Amino acid sequence: MINHPMTRVLIISLIVFSTSIFSQSKNNMEIATFGTGCFWCTEAIFDKLEGVTEVLPGYSGGEESNPNYKLICSGTTKYAEIVQIKFNPEVITFDELLEIFWSIHNPTTLNRQGADVGPQYRSVIFYHNQIQKEKAELYKQKLMDAKVWENPVVTEISPFVSFYKAEKEHLDFYKNNPANGYCSFVITPKVEKFEKVFSDKLKK
């Protein structure tokens, strides 16, 4: 049983398995939209990947127009804190982003990541096309079948509808606020562990 989510052994095998099933579109930049809890953490990690050209924290999954951080933090909306990732599939594929997505957070805790509690912190993939949908669903099922985690994977897989960029103070939050308590005690250890596990995928 693998207890810590940041592992690559099984997930890599799923990536290899799926490559022969789904065709890859490598002609243009692509978009992935993930939620793994606090978007400060998620942005800090995906921004380090070779082939990722932009990571924007923001909100997706809700119905209100022009949501803001205060509204999202109330936990009364359907919005999740997410990151919108622009990537070059010739350098890093959606499969590899999925591998990282499921390795950097606990997808078995409903509406929660550590001390961050509420629907805005849910594990979620907002897919942009049918291929992303099928891949996300395949990997989720394979991970549950393999019992990588003791509890069931509760990651939401939903169609992407809209994206609202977070307020200016949330952009590059980790880079701009390294001395912040949350950054020091939560994000830095997570980033350091990520860099060790995925050292081959980091920007040079």
| Residue that is written with structure tokens 């606990």 in the block | 106
Establish whether 38 is a catalytic residue. yes
Largest CA distance in the chain: 45
Phi, psi dihedrals of residue 68, rounded to the nearest 5°: -130, 170
Catalytic residue among 38, 41, 73, 183: 38
- The whole-angstrom separation of Cα 29 and Cα 196 is 27
- Contact indicator for 59, 11 with CB cutoff of 8 Å: no
Nearest by Cα to 97 from 137, 46, 133: 46
Nearest by Cα to 111 from 95, 102, 123, 127: 123
Alpha helices in the chain (DSSP H): 9-19, 39-46, 69-73, 94-103, 130-146, 173-176, 181-182, 188-197
Please identify every residue annotated as catalytic: 38
